[in-house]
Every structure is written in C-alpha cells, then in structure tokens.
C-alpha cells in the first residue's frame, strides 16, 4: 500500500488504516467540486465569492454509513467484549465485591432487631452505599483518559457520533454495575440479617444499584473534564468529602450549621442512605426494651433510646430525621444520575469540538 501512495502514519494502527482505505468514503464531494470550480475561475471572482460560503471551503460534511441505533449496538457489544476480555480486572472487581460484602457481613453478622443495634444497621447501610459509589467511580474514572486517542481517531474518521459512543459506554458500565451491585448486596443483606420483607429488600437493592450508576456516570464525567488520571485522583476526594460528611450519618440534620445546610440538601449520599433506612425501618416493630437499674451491681443502666416497650421503626426514622419519603429520595438520585450524564456528554462535545 505504501508503494501506491497509502503510507500508514506513524501512530496509526495498521489494521484501522487498512479498513479506512477499503471502506467507502464517508464524506460528500462538496470539497472536491469546490476545488474544481475554483480552478476554472480567475483569482478575483473566487476571492469575491469566498465570503458568501458558509464555513471554511475545505470543510467536509460527514455522512455516517449506519444509523445511531446500529452504532450504539456495535459500540455496546464491543465495550462489553473488551470488559470481559480483561479477565484480570473482571475477576478482581468480582472478588472485591464478594470480599467486602463478606467482611462487612462478618462484622455485623445477624444484627438483632433491637433499639441498641439501630446504629449498627445504620452503619451497615452506609458502608454498602459508600462502597458501591466509590467502587463504581474508580472503575470508570480512567476510561476516557486512557481511551482518548482511540476515541479521537475513530470519531474523526466518521465511525460513530459522540452521543452514540457515550450512550454505549454508559450502558455497558451500568450493566456490569447491576451485576456487581446485586452480588454485593445479596451477600451483605443475608449475612447482616437486615429487613427480610421482599419490598424492603428490593427497594434497598434498587437504591444501591442506582448509587453505583451515579458513581459510574460521575467517574466518566470527571474523566472527560480533567482528561488526566493524576488530576482525577486528587480532585474526586475534594468533591465527594463534603457530600459524605453531610449525608446524615456523621451529624444529625438539626446539628448542621445553617451555612452548610445546602450541602445536606443536595448530597446524593444523604438521599441514598435515607432511602435504605426508610426501607429498613418503616413500619417495622423492634423487640421490646425494658430499662433496668441495678445499684448494687456497680451502677449499671440499661436505657431505651427510643422509649420503653415495643417501638416502631417509624420512631427511629423520626429521631434520625429521615422523613423525606422514598419517592423524593429516588427523584433526587435520578436527578443526580441525569445531571452527571449530561455534564459528561457536554464536556465530551466541548473537548472534541476544539479539534
């Protein structure tokens, strides 16, 4: 091919270059016709006609050979195939989910349904939510920086639209996140002995998977905006730490300073934790608690934090100020997911429009 004028560039994959030569041109013949027309005219008329042209004379209009759905289908299958081909990373992520779920389940094994263990249940749900977000974010934050050259080459050769690539990448990442999240949640939920009601378990599972999807979308968005792995590693903790602190686990809403209330109001960690707590405690009765005082045994006390006797989980939710409702929590989480996806796509469009 080099002998007939098709020399492969230095940093181009020979296989891709070979396919570029064989495939039909994805460009219109506007540029060639304009050049032929300009050669038949004198210089002055061409200069006079140039301002009437929209855009640069050499600009070419790309015509994609396949539809957007076909592009999404091919890109989605290719992304899934690449993720499965990297067996080391796939098995590492799978083992990490199983290992962390088993460890947390062993620490909080079969938590009793009493007032004393409310904090333990809250800790289990917070750990599950935190791990799901951070694990999903870490698995996608370096995707765009590492694939940037390939994306740039294929996009500017007319292989796909940016919207179809971004949609396929998000869909593939979220499919695997559903698998990882379901395995993680099933192990932890069974070992910790959380609310066994099907609707409560299903609601908590959906919340956990949705939090993981937010982590996926946020990782892609941060990777697009910063474009360097070193920057992303240093930036993500600074962004997430305020949202984690003001999620309702470390500090009650009533104790948060007024100038930090807005962080509590927008934190998606808060809505994820609140949704799982509502599924865990709403309408559930705890075992009876009897306050005991033994002065002869070294001033020992047994107190009931939420009142003596049998108390409802609604009393716990009221005391912890988790009263937004499941519908509002899901709406806020979906809003965060859509927002991260939109920011990532806009940043991708801006980045590639410069070249």
CA–CA distance, 174 with 218 (Å, rounded to integer): 12
pLDDT band at 237 (very low <50, low <70, confident <90, very high): confident
What are 62's strand-pairing partners?
Answer: 27
If we measure between CA atoms, which residue out of 345, 348, 76 comes closest to residue 227? 348
Least confident window among 22-26, 231-235, 274-278: 22-26
CA–CA distance, 20 with 157 (Å, rounded to integer): 8
At 162, give phi and psi (nearest 5°). Answer: -65, -35
Least confident window among 15-19, 46-50, 112-116, 141-145: 46-50
CA–CA distance, 217 with 209 (Å, rounded to integer): 12
Rounded alpha-carbon distances, angstroms, from residue 10 to 17, 20, 89, 93, 180:
11, 15, 30, 36, 40
Is it the case that residue 239 has pLDDT exceeding 50?
yes
**pLDDT recorded at residue 225:** 87
Q: For 193-216, what is the mean pLDDT?
A: 94
- Helix/strand/coil percentages in the chain, nearest 5: 70, 5, 25
CA–CA distance, 114 with 307 (Å, rounded to integer): 12
Say if CB 209 and CB 335 are below 8 A apart. Answer: no
Written as six digits, the tokens of 216 are 């996926």
Higher pLDDT, 170 or 11: 170
At 294, give phi and psi (nearest 5°). Answer: -120, 95
Least confident window among 1-10, 280-289, 305-314: 1-10
Is it the case that residue 355 has pLDDT exceeding 70?
no
CA–CA distance, 252 with 248 (Å, rounded to integer): 5
Least confident window among 87-91, 94-98, 158-162, 292-296: 292-296
Write down the mean pLDDT value for the chain: 83
Using a pLDDT cut of 70, give the percent of the chain over it: 81
pTM: 0.79
CA–CA distance, 182 with 189 (Å, rounded to integer): 10
pLDDT tens per residue, range 281-293: 998 888 888 776 6
User: Quick one: 352 exposed, middle or buried, by C-beta within 10 A (0-12, 13-18, 19+)?
Assistant: middle
Is it the case that residue 2 has pLDDT exceeding 80?
no
**pLDDT recorded at residue 58:** 45
**DSSP state string for 160-228:** --HHHHHHHHHHHHHHHHHHHHHHHHHHHHHHHT----HHHHHHHHHHHHHHHHHHHHHHHHHHHHH--
């Amino acid at each position: 091919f080099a002998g007939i004028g098709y020399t492969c560039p230095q940093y181009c994959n020979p296989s891709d270059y070979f396919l570029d030569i064989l495939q039909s041109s994805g460009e219109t013949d506007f540029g060639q016709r304009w050049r032929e027309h300009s050669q038949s005219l004198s210089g002055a008329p061409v200069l006079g006609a140039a301002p009437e042209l929209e855009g640069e004379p050499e600009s070419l209009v790309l015509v994609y050979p396949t539809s957007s759905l076909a592009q999404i289908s091919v890109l989605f299958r290719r992304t899934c195939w690449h993720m499965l081909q990297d067996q080391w990373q796939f098995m590492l992520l799978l083992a990490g989910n199983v290992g962390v779920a088993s460890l947390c389940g062993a620490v909080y094994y079969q938590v009793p349904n009493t007032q004393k263990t409310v904090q333990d249940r809250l800790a289990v749900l917070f750990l599950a939510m935190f791990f799901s977000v951070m694990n999903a974010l870490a698995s996608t934050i370096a995707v765009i920086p590492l694939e940037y050259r390939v994306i740039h080459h294929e996009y500017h050769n007319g292989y796909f639209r940016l919207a179809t690539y971004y949609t396929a990448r998000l869909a593939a990442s979220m499919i695997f996140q559903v698998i990882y999240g379901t395995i993680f949640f099933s192990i932890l939920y069974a070992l910790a002995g959380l609310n066994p009601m099907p609707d409560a378990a299903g609601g908590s599972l959906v919340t956990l998977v949705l939090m993981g999807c937010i982590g996926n979308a946020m990782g892609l968005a941060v990777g697009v905006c910063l474009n360097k792995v070193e920057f992303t590693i240093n930036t993500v903790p600074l962004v997430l730490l305020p949202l984690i602190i003001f999620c309702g686990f470390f500090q009650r809403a009533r104790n948060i300073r007024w100038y930090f209330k807005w962080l509590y109001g927008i934190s998606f960690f808060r809505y994820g934790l609140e949704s799982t707590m509502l599924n865990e405690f709403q309408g559930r009765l705890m075992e009876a608690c009897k306050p005991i005082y033994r002065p002869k045994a070294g001033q020992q006390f047994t107190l009931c934090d939420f009142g003596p006797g049998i108390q409802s989980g609604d009393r716990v939710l009221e005391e912890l100020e988790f009263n937004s409702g499941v519908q509002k929590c899901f709406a806020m989480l979906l809003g965060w997911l859509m927002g991260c996806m939109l920011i990532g796509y806009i940043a991708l469009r801006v980045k590639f429009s410069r070249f």
